[in-house]
Amino acid sequence: MPSDGAVRGRPARLFDGASARDHPVTVAVTAGRIVIAPDDPAALPECPLEWPLADSYRTAEGRADRLTVTTGAAPEARLVIVDRTLRETLAPLLGDRGQATAARRSAIGWAIALSLVVVLIVTAAGFASLHAARFLPVGWGGGLSDAMLEQLVEAHPACDQPEGVAALDRLAYRMAEVLDGPAPKVLTVRWNLVNAFALPGGRIVLTSGLIERAASPQALASVLAHEVGHVARRDPLARVLRDKLVDVALAAVFGVSLNVGTTGAVASFLLDNSYTRDQEEGADTAALRVLNALDIDPGLGALFFDRLAKVDSGLDAVTWLRSHPLSVDRAEKLRRGGTGRGTGMPVEDWRAVEALCG
SS3 readout for 282-325: HHHHHHHHHHHHCCECCHHHHHHHHHHHHCCCCCHHHHHHHHCC
Q: One digit per residue, pLDDT tens: the chain, 358 residues?
A: 444 445 678 899 999 988 878 899 999 998 889 999 999 988 899 999 999 988 888 886 657 788 999 888 888 899 999 998 888 888 888 865 555 555 556 666 666 665 665 555 455 544 554 555 565 666 667 788 888 899 899 999 999 999 999 999 999 999 999 999 888 999 999 999 888 999 888 999 999 999 999 999 999 999 999 999 999 988 887 777 666 655 555 555 555 555 544 444 444 444 455 677 788 889 999 999 999 999 999 999 999 988 887 764 444 444 555 555 555 678 888 999 999 999 999 999 999 999 999 8
Q: Determine how many CB atoms are found less than 10 A away from the CB of residue 121.
A: 19
In the chain, list all ranges with CATH 2.30.29.30. 10-95
User: What pLDDT was estimated at residue 17?
Assistant: 87
Contact residues for 319 (Cβ-Cβ < 8 A; gap 6+): 193, 194, 195, 271
DSSP letter at 65 equals T
Which amino acid, residue 115?
S
User: What is the SS3 assignment for 201?
Assistant: coil
Q: How far is it, in rounded angstroms, from Cα 131 to Cα 92? A: 63
User: What pLDDT was estimated at residue 79?
Assistant: 92
Helix 347-354 and helix 217-233: axis angle, to 10°?
80
pTM: 0.60
User: What pLDDT was estimated at residue 307?
Assistant: 84
User: What pLDDT was estimated at residue 19?
Assistant: 85
Query: Concatenated DSSP letters for 174-187?
Result: HHHHHTT-PPPEEE
CATH topology of domain 10-95: PH-domain like (2.30.29)
> Contacts by 206-211 with C-beta closer than 8 Å and gap 24+?
206/168, 207/156, 208/159, 208/356, 208/357, 209/316, 209/317, 210/320, 211/353, 211/354, 211/356, 211/357
